[in-house]
Structure 1
Amino acid sequence: MGAWLEAEGIVPDLVVCSTSARTRQTWQEAKKAFDPVPEAIFEDMIYDASPDMLLEIVRSADGDVQTLMIVGHNPGMESLTGMLAESAEPEVAERFERKFPTAAIAVLDFEDTPWAAIEEKQAWLFAFETPKHLGLKDE
């Protein structure tokens, strides 16, 4: 999944990762695709976080961060994506609505909105990729 991000030119400036073993392992694999490896911080609050708590983490990103990546858990990540996404191409929306499996990637575009000013239903769901859609594994 990291290779897909890199191939699409979606390279995070900052990664905020849950402290769980599974998310740390996910980040360890994904970061292999990036050179240089983006800065990562590990945050206990992501584990079992509500979408509102995840939104606060997004809003707290430094203004110098252009692309933020959160490595977290469901149902919070799926709920956050649904909370923030106002629109998407039909194929992207259909895949998102079908299933948000392990290792799925939702790419949200907020145009030029500062992180601190992000509100609900403000983003374009630019992409939604899953390992199955990329032919990497069954779901």
Structure 2
Amino acid sequence: MKILGLFRHAKSDWNDARLRDFDRPLNARGRAGAEVMGKYVREHGVPWARFVASPAVRVTQTMEIAAKAARITPHVVWDRRVYLANSETLIEVLREQEGDPPSIMLCGHNPGLEDLIFDLVPDDGSNPLRDEVEEKFPTAAFAVLELDIENWDDVTEGCARLVHLVRPRDLDPSLAPQLSD
């Protein structure tokens, strides 16, 4: 069995229209969400063996703030393919992980992360967490999947169970979506 964590970047700032999408930073609520989620991810207790992330500014800032809050210094593999990747690309990234770590935290963007959950977790009506993801996998959401595989290169559709899901608003009501979102 392998464990896959999915961590979507926190809320980004749209105020500077001159910035490329890749360069958008976090806004104040995003920074607060990244901090809350970083502490939570640490307390959740999975020892993440590898971190793979998009190098987009909003992801790097999310990772930096979350790692500081979690009091860890992760070695992050920054993979440009994760930036706005679809599920197929994310599966390819997972299959290519060397050294076969027991757990991987994948940090990136929607709709790719959400679609990855839909592709890996069967839609058999037995998982209420999957139903919640169908409603929305919001910014700074954190999900944990257990994959019934021996090696990462065995990742295939339907091989996982979604066993955990938490959003910033679940931990701090002030981080719930605002009318302006």
Do both proteins adopt the same fold according to a TM-score greater than 0.5, normalized to the shorter chain?
Answer: yes
Counterpart amino acid of residue 82 in structure 1: F
Do the aligned residues in 2 keep the contact of 1:63 with 1:114 (CA within 8 Å)? no
Q: CA RMSD in A?
A: 1.9
Match status 1:128 vs 2:162: no
Letter in 1 for 2:98: D
TM-score, normalised by the number of residues in structure 1: 0.89
Q: Does residue 1:109 correspond to 2:146, yes or no? A: yes
Partner of 2:112: 76
Give the corresponding residue for 1:99: 136
Q: Rate the CA distance shift 1:90–1:121 in 2: closer, same or farther, 3 A.
A: closer
**Of the candidates 15, 18, 21, which is equivalent to residue 57 of structure 2?**
21
Per the normalisation by structure 2, the TM-score is 0.70
Identity of aligned residues (%): 32
Residue segments in structure 1 that go unaligned for 5+ positions in a row = none
Q: Return structure 1 stretches of 4+ with deviation > 3 angstroms.
A: 33-36, 87-91
Higher relative contact order (CA 8 A, sep 6+): 2
Counterpart residue type for residue 132 of structure 1: R
**Cα deviation code 1:87-133 (max 9, x no counterpart):** 69644233222211111112110145210111101101011111112
Number of aligned positions between the proteins: 139
Letter in 2 for 1:74: N
Structure number with bigger Rg: 2
Cα 1:29–1:35 change in 2 (3 A) is closer
* Residue range with higher mean Cα deviation, 19-28 or 81-90: 81-90
What is the CA–CA distance in structure 1 between the aligned matches of 2:47 and 2:113, rounded to whole Å? 19
